[in-house]
Amino acid sequence: MNVEAVIKTKTAIPLPQRTIIHLTLVTNKITEELGNALKPYGVSLQQFNVLRILRGQQGKPAHMSTLNERMVRKMSNTTRLVDKLLLKGYVDRVVCESNRRKVEINITNKGMDALREMDKAVTASEADLLAELTEDQMKALNLLLDKF
């Protein structure tokens, strides 16, 4: 991806600014591609993210606050996100017995099955996005990103 070509400019961009724009463009592309990979399943990237977190709980239910902590993109309205998954039958939600302020969210079997399918699509899409990077380059990239 060439920054200058994408934003159609001929003038040189200062390195710091170029770095910021470059990161934004790459992440835009990632978001778009992964979103497209998930489109056939009717879930957004955020909804997929929540399902993955729930699976990671290994049977233990997750509270709203847990989801919020672990989501890649923090958002205030996790409630409405879970609502949508509930509607699809991918999760269930019950009030926590020991502390009725909390709610417990679990992934259903239907959700697990759907998630497995989505995983395939997403993993393929990720591999595609990263196709031109060697393992060492990915490691180098991660090290550089640690500096933010």
- List interacting residues with DNA (CB under 7 A): 44, 46, 63-65, 68, 73-80, 82, 84, 93, 99-103
* Cβ proximity to DNA, 14 vs 148, nearer residue: 148
In the bound state with a copy of itself, the residue whose beta carbon lies nearer, of 49 and 91, is 49
User: Tokens representing 41?
Assistant: 């399943």
Pick from 49, 44, 89, 99: nearest CA to 70: 49
Closest of 52, 56, 54 to residue 34, by C-alpha? 52
Binding mask 49-88 for a copy of itself (x = CB under 8 A): -------x------------xxxxx---------------
Q: Distance between CA atoms of 15 and 65, rounded to whole angstroms?
A: 39
Look up residue 118 and give its amino acid. M
Residues 23-52 close enough to bind a copy of itself by CB under 8 A? 23-31, 34
CA distance 47 to 82: 8
- Total of residues contacting a copy of itself (CB under 8 A): 50
Which part of the chain contacts a copy of itself (CB under 8 A), choosing from 21-29, 81-89, 90-98, 100-108?
21-29
